[in-house]
């Protein structure tokens, strides 16, 4: 196996993409998937992800074959025996993903991202060029990232970084997800209070204050996400969603929509207010006016650089919980065109 540096692939070979099974990671990888299909139109693309994002990748026309990474040993025999991946693109930094990349590679495969050889246990070095240095850089959140890679990066957004480490130059496509219209009345404001980590959370009292004020202003609110029991098992912050529904501040849409339908509902809403989560990335991908609450310093890498997304961060050294209700209320009014 060798490092990919933008060359053509052997005719008839396939492309494998290894992605973490999170909604945000899936969305930020879509510009790269779009470019791979454009650059290598005759090659099939296989995505290794999981059940959380399956609603999307099952209907995504960029993906020819999807597989849960836990089921890698159950690959179809035609792929498992032929080992005809001309290109393996690993989007994740974890060791499991590097080993999976090594599993999918044959002797003549080209690789993007971390890759550990199964036969030697050694990691494949990154190429000694600017894209290779960016791929091996462990500090993508650094404020001086663009200054260190001036000929590569036009934004510090992770979606662009992934494309540049795969040797794509020029304009980067916007994130795009499959969507389906919904046959329900969609509230004016869709909110999501859950996140993967507690340090991403806003306080319950501020969410309730936010909902109360917008209800008094005559706006309808809805909560989107996984079903309540799944929210409680997988993410943090579901208790405030339960309270908002109990107090009749918001309509409960959790678990009632597929991911393409969530995207469709976001298109029909007027604004989305959410923590730094997968919902934020879906909202950005469908150009919904979006107010996103970020930890300090995280919006540089993770906020989609779209005019529809309004990232709000606390001051340095402060937590997301310190962001005031007034900041989010003002930002939401601005997104609604009320300021």
Instruction: List for the chain the helix, strand, coil content (%; round to 5).
Output: 40, 15, 45
Give me the sign of the Cα torsion angle 178, 140, 96, 3: positive
The predicted pLDDT at position 81 comes to 47
Q: Is 42 exposed, middle or buried (0-12, 13-18, 19+ CB in 10 A)?
A: exposed
How far CA 290 is from CA of 167, 241, 304, in Å, comes to 30, 19, 10
- The tokens for 54 are 């399956």
Residue 76 confidence (pLDDT) above 60: no
Residue 233 confidence (pLDDT) above 50: yes
- The tokens for 317 are 């050294």
* pLDDT tens digits along 163-190: 999 999 999 999 999 999 998 999 999 9
When mean pLDDT is compared across 29-33, 68-72, 97-101, 235-239, the lowest value belongs to 68-72
Domain boundary assignment for the chain: 2-165, 189-335
Same CATH topology for 2-165 and 189-335? yes
* pLDDT tens digits along 294-310: 999 999 999 999 999 99
- The tokens for 261 are 């339908």
Q: What's the whole-number mean pLDDT along residues 283-298?
A: 97
Q: Which fold has domain 189-335?
A: Rossmann fold (3.40.50)
Question: Domain 2-165 classified CATH 3.40.50?
Answer: yes
- The answer to whether 304 and 281 are in contact (CB under 8 A) is yes
Q: Could you give the CA distance from residue 336 to residue 212 in angstroms, rounded to a whole number?
A: 17
Mean pLDDT of the chain: 93
**Structure pTM?**
0.93
In degrees, to the nearest 5, what angle opens at C-alpha 247 toward C-alphas 242 and 248? 95
């Amino acid at each position: 196996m060798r490092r990919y540096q933008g060359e053509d692939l052997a005719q008839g070979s396939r492309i494998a993409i290894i992605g973490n099974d999170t909604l945000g990671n899936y969305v930020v990888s879509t510009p790269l998937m779009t470019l791979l299909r454009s650059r290598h139109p005759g090659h099939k693309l296989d995505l290794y992800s999981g059940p959380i994002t399956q609603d999307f990748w099952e209907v995504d026309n960029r993906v020819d074959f999807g597989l849960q990474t836990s089921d890698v040993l159950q690959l179809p025999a035609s792929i498992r025996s032929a080992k005809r991946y001309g290109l393996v693109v690993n989007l994740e930094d974890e060791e499991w993903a590097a080993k999976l990349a090594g599993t999918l590679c044959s002797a003549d495969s080209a690789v993007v991202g971390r890759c550990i050889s199964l036969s030697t246990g050694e990691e494949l070095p990154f190429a000694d060029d600017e894209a290779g240095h960016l791929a091996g850089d462990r500090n993508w959140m650094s404020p001086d990232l663009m200054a260190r890679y001036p000929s590569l990066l036009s934004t510090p957004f992770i979606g662009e970084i992934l494309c540049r480490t795969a040797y794509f130059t020029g304009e980067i496509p916007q994130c795009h997800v499959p969507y389906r219209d919904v046959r329900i009345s969609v509230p004016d404001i869709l909110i999501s209070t859950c996140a993967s980590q507690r340090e991403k959370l806003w306080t319950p009292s501020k969410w309730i204050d936010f909902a109360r004020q917008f209800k008094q202003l005559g706006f309808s609110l809805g909560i989107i996400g996984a079903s309540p029991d799944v929210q409680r098992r997988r993410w943090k912050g579901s208790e405030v969603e339960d309270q908002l529904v109990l107090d009749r501040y918001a309509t409960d849409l959790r678990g009632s929509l597929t991911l393409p339908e969530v995207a469709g509902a976001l298109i029909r809403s007027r604004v989305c207010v959410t923590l730094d989560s997968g919902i934020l990335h879906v909202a950005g991908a469908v150009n919904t006016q979006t107010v996103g609450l970020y930890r300090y310093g995280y919006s540089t890498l993770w906020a989609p650089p779209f005019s529809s997304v309004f990232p709000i961060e606390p001051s340095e050294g402060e937590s997301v919980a310190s962001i005031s209700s007034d900041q989010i209320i003002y930002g939401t009014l601005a997104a609604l065109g009320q300021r």
